[in-house]
Structures are given as structure tokens and as C-alpha cells.
């Protein structure tokens, strides 16, 4: 029972331990707020769908420190983002930009949905208008045999 309680406590404490560590936090509250906002927009390349603000991965820590270092040097938020995109690629953005090759990805899902919806409407209309094939008629012998079976 103690092991179970320990496992539950560690699972609940895990998210609380994520994010910037006390030694990462900047003294200037305005810069720290900007750093947290930027960190929430950047993907941890190890954890995939976690921001670097939520991740415990060592690389996420390095990225958080890099963001804070660039802000202390005087970079704007956009310059910090551009620096990280140049360094890690556009994959690092949690919300990819709607331009270039990404535009195909943004547009393809709604287009595929509309195409599927159109195909479903065409299929259902054709199916609704189609005649059911007529049942084959029984021969005279089959009708006689059926009447004989139904009498018994």
C-alpha cells in the first residue's frame, strides 16, 4: 500500500515540478513574464507536445535558459522566437506559421473534409434514387412446390 501511495504522490507531484526552476527565474518580473510567455509558445523537441515551460527535459531547461539569456541581452520577443526557429527549425513552434509549406498543412484538412462531405452527399443521393432490383419470379414448378410445402 505504501508503494501505491508513493507512486500516486509522484504522479501528482510531477507536473508541479515541471517548468522553470528557481535558479532559472529572472530578477526582473517584466522580463520573467515575457520569458514565460515565450516559453509557452515553444515546443520541447524531446517531449513533442509539451511546451518548454511545462517540460522537465534537460534540453527544455537549456532552451528556457537561452530564452532568458536573449531577453537579458535586449532582444525583442520576435527576435528570440526567430533565433530559436533558426536554431531548431520551425518544428519548435507549438503553433506553426500559416505560410509557405505549412499553408498546405493548414488548408489540407478542411479541404479533405469538404471533399469527403461532398462524396458522401453524392453517394447518398445516388443510393436514394436507385431502384431496388426486382426479385426473380418463381417458375411454375417452384410455385407448385411452395404451395405443397405450405399446406403441410
Name which of 37, 42, 70, 72 is nearest 57 in CA terms: 42
Q: Do 88 and 20 share a domain, yes or no?
A: yes
Q: Give the CA-trace dihedral at 22, 23, 27, 28, to 10 degrees.
A: -80
**Which among 76, 92, 108 is the end of a domain?**
92
Residue 107: what pLDDT? 87
Cell 453517394 belongs to 123
C-alpha to C-alpha distance for 59 and 65, rounded to whole angstroms: 10
Domain that holds residue 15: 11-92
Write the CATH number for 28.
1.10.8.640
Residue 2: what pLDDT? 67
Q: What is the mean pLDDT of residues 120-124?
A: 94
Q: Is 124 in a helix, a strand, or coil?
A: helix
pLDDT surpassing 70 at residue 88: yes
52 located within any domain:
yes
Residue 90: what pLDDT? 86
Q: Do 16 and 36 share a domain, yes or no?
A: yes
- Alpha-helical segments (H) within the chain: 2-17, 29-39, 58-72, 77-88, 101-129, 140-151
23-40 pLDDT per residue, tens: 677 778 888 899 999 999
C-alpha to C-alpha distance for 137 and 152, rounded to whole angstroms: 23
134 located within any domain:
no
Amino acid at each position: 500500500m505504501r508503494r501505491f501511495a508513493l507512486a500516486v504522490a509522484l504522479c501528482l507531484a510531477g507536473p508541479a515540478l515541471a517548468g522553470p526552476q528557481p535558479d532559472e527565474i529572472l530578477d526582473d518580473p517584466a522580463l520573467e513574464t515575457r520569458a514565460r510567455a515565450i516559453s509557452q509558445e515553444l515546443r520541447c523537441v524531446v517531449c513533442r507536445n509539451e511546451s518548454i515551460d511545462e517540460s522537465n527535459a534537460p534540453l527544455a531547461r537549456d532552451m528556457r535558459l537561452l530564452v532568458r539569456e536573449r531577453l537579458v541581452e535586449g532582444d525583442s520577443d520576435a527576435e528570440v522566437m526567430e533565433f530559436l526557429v533558426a536554431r531548431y527549425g520551425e518544428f519548435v513552434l507549438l503553433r506553426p506559421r500559416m505560410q509557405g509549406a505549412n499553408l498546405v498543412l493548414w488548408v489540407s484538412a478542411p479541404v479533405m473534409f469538404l471533399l469527403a462531405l461532398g462524396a458522401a452527399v453524392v453517394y447518398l443521393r445516388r443510393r436514394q434514387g436507385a431502384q431496388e432490383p426486382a426479385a426473380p419470379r418463381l417458375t411454375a414448378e417452384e410455385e407448385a412446390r411452395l404451395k405443397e410445402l405450405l399446406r403441410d
